[in-house]
């Protein structure tokens, strides 16, 4: 292609090989595993951090055969030195491991330097949840509170909070809902979860009532005729995560809670309260959309006395009188 003065334009610089390889790896993850953009961005960031570490030692992702196990272990040690959270360290190592698996499949290398490098043992942290009184207070504002002022924003905020707590949705799932994903009359919402896995989630009676009220007034937020999003911001476009976080925390503060709250805390509360009320683990797993049951077991940190009461009552070989 020529410029206006008749001279040829300089050729565009070629994409560096490591960048192209990483981009192809991310495209493969998107196509085969259906990873969300935020997840792919995290993978890209992890690999950029690993590449920066390698560069400081004269190594590069464009020469994977030169990267040995010591380099991977050194990267983990560097993360330790920076006091990176163990769960983040595990994810970064998992990203690097997946990248070299991809290179092996593409015959770009013959050995896997991550083999034998174990993930750091993560702290087993109990998900933070509200107690039942706190959760009810958050979604049921007192008369005179900002969330009870009758505005369209208050109507939307309470519909969102009730959905998160009543159905246990991830905030990304709730914000990704379109109008035709919700069937209030049937009490069902169609959710697109992690890995593009679809599931149906039930709506609580309170959530159905809040959603009906919000749907009737949604047009007051000024959406374009083509806007399909269920939850809208003040400018009529799809509500984003930051806005949702502010909404839930504002509801918590208005309810007089002594701590800050975030949308995922309502999902944790949903799971915790179901299990405390006797729901079985498998059912809660399905409701949460967890791929692995072990993920759901994080919510089972019930007190030992309650567990023993359940055991004594249910097991045929138990003698309830001995535990009283």
264 is a catalytic site residue: yes
Got the DSSP string for 12-23? PPPPPHHHHHHH
Whole-model pTM: value is: 0.61
Instruction: Answer yes or no: do 168 and 259 share one domain.
Output: yes
Which residue reads 């030169």 in tokens? 66
Instruction: Answer yes or no: do 98 and 137 share one domain.
Output: no
Predicted local distance difference test score (pLDDT) of residue 308:
60
Q: 9-13, 89-93, 112-116, 132-136: lowest mean pLDDT where?
A: 9-13
Instruction: Answer yes or no: do 61 and 142 share one domain.
Output: no
- Angstrom distance (rounded) from CA 100 to CA 102: 5
Better pLDDT: 153 or 122 = 153
Instruction: Answer yes or no: do 169 and 272 share one domain.
Output: yes
Instruction: Answer yes or no: do 302 and 194 share one domain.
Output: yes
pLDDT digits (tens, 9 = 90+) for 298-315: 666 544 445 566 566 666
Instruction: Answer yes or no: do 171 and 268 share one domain.
Output: yes
Instruction: Answer yes or no: do 173 and 84 share one domain.
Output: no
Catalytic-labelled residue, pool 86, 97, 108, 264 = 264
Residues spanned by the domain of 55: 17-105
Catalytic-labelled residue, pool 43, 102, 214, 299 = 299
Better pLDDT: 124 or 269 = 269
CB 158 within 8 A of CB 139: yes
Predicted local distance difference test score (pLDDT) of residue 281:
80
Instruction: Answer yes or no: do 168 and 40 share one domain.
Output: no
CB 217 within 8 A of CB 113: no
262 is a catalytic site residue: no
Instruction: Answer yes or no: do 183 and 91 share one domain.
Output: no
Catalytic-labelled residue, pool 208, 267, 268, 273 = 267
Helices (H) and strands (E) in the chain, counts: 13, 3
Predicted local distance difference test score (pLDDT) of residue 2:
46
């Amino acid at each position: 292609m020529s410029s206006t003065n008749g001279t040829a334009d300089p050729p565009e610089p070629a994409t560096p090989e490591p960048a192209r390889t990483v981009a192809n790896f991310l495209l493969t993850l998107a196509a085969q595993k259906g990873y969300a953009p935020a997840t792919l961005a995290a993978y890209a960031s992890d690999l950029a951090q690993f590449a920066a570490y390698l560069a400081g030692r004269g190594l590069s992702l464009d020469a994977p055969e030169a990267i040995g196990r010591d380099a991977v272990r050194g990267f983990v040690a560097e993360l330790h030195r920076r006091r990176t959270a163990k769960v983040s360290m595990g994810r970064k190592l998992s990203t690097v491991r997946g990248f070299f698996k991809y290179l092996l499949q593409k015959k770009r290398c013959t050995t896997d330097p991550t083999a034998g490098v174990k993930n750091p043992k993560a702290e087993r942290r109990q998900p933070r949840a509200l107690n039942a009184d706190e959760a009810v207070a958050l979604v049921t504002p007192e008369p005179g509170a900002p969330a009870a002022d009758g505005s369209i924003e208050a109507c939307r905020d309470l519909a969102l909070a009730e959905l998160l707590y009543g159905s246990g949705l991830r905030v990304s799932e709730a914000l990704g809902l379109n109008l035709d994903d919700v069937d209030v009359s049937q009490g069902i919402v169609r959710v697109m979860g992690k890995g593009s896995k679809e599931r149906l989630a039930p709506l609580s009676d309170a959530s159905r009532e809040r959603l009906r009220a919000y749907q009737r007034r949604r047009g007051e937020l000024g959406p374009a005729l083509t806007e399909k999003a269920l939850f809208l911001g003040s400018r009529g476009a799809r509500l984003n995560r930051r806005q949702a976080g502010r909404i839930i925390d504002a509801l918590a503060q208005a309810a007089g809670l002594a701590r800050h709250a975030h949308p995922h805390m309502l999902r944790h509360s949903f799971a915790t309260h179901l299990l405390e009320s006797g729901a079985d683990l498998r059912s809660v797993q399905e409701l949460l959309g967890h791929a692995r049951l072990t993920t759901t077991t994080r919510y089972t940190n019930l007190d030992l006395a309650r567990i023993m009461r359940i055991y004594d009552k249910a097991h045929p070989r138990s003698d309830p009188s001995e535990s009283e």
